[in-house]
Amino acid sequence: MNKILPGQMWHINNFAKKSLFRYLIQQHTPTPYQFLATAGVNAYLQTSNHANQALNQSLRQGYNRLAEVKEITCPALVLAGQGDRHITANASYQTARQIHQSEWYCYPDTAHLFPWEIPDVVLSDIDRWLGKYTDVFSNLPNHDKP
């Protein structure tokens, strides 16, 4: 229903909040549902069986590369949604702590799809962070500049 009429509050209140979306979104406004309708559903449907199998195998085996994260030497921005049940805020924080040049932001009242819940805030924070590293990016060849 959201694909046909994206972001309709009646659909959100009567269906979406009772579906899987309740774990992916905390701010049940039209904005994240419009993103879901235009990009999310297609991405989900186009995920290959091989990708799903690889993810499930990694989860079963307890995949954890936190020890190797400290090898990252470039600046990193680690973002998290406070209510994310898939990649918890604490897991993101622990990752950020292992990276020498990292900044960590945790957005309140958001979940896994926080960039779709608060896109303007996230883009502003990314732009501000990138602005700190203009000297790094100015030394890249033209085809690699953000």
In terms of DSSP H, where are the helices of 9-88? Answer: 9-14, 21-24, 30-35, 41-46, 49-60, 66-69
What is the per-residue pLDDT for 146?
55
CA torsion through residues 127, 142, 99, 111, sign: positive
Mean pLDDT, the chain, whole residue set: 88
Strands (E), the chain: 76-81, 102-107
* Of 65 and 138, more confident: 65
What is the per-residue pLDDT for 14?
76
What is the per-residue pLDDT for 144?
54
Q: Are 129 and 143 in contact (CB under 8 A)?
A: no
Q: Which of 6-15, 35-44, 54-63, 111-120 has the highest mean pLDDT?
A: 111-120
Q: Which residue has the tokens 């701010």?
A: 27
- The 10s digit of each residue's pLDDT in 42-84 is 888 899 999 999 989 998 998 889 999 999 999 999 999 999 9
- The 10s digit of each residue's pLDDT in 10-23 is 877 877 777 888 88
What is the per-residue pLDDT for 142?
66
Distance between CA atoms of residues 2 and 123, nearest Å: 25
Distance between CA atoms of residues 136 and 131, nearest Å: 10
* Annotation: CATH topology of 9-144: Rossmann fold (3.40.50)
What is the per-residue pLDDT for 89?
97
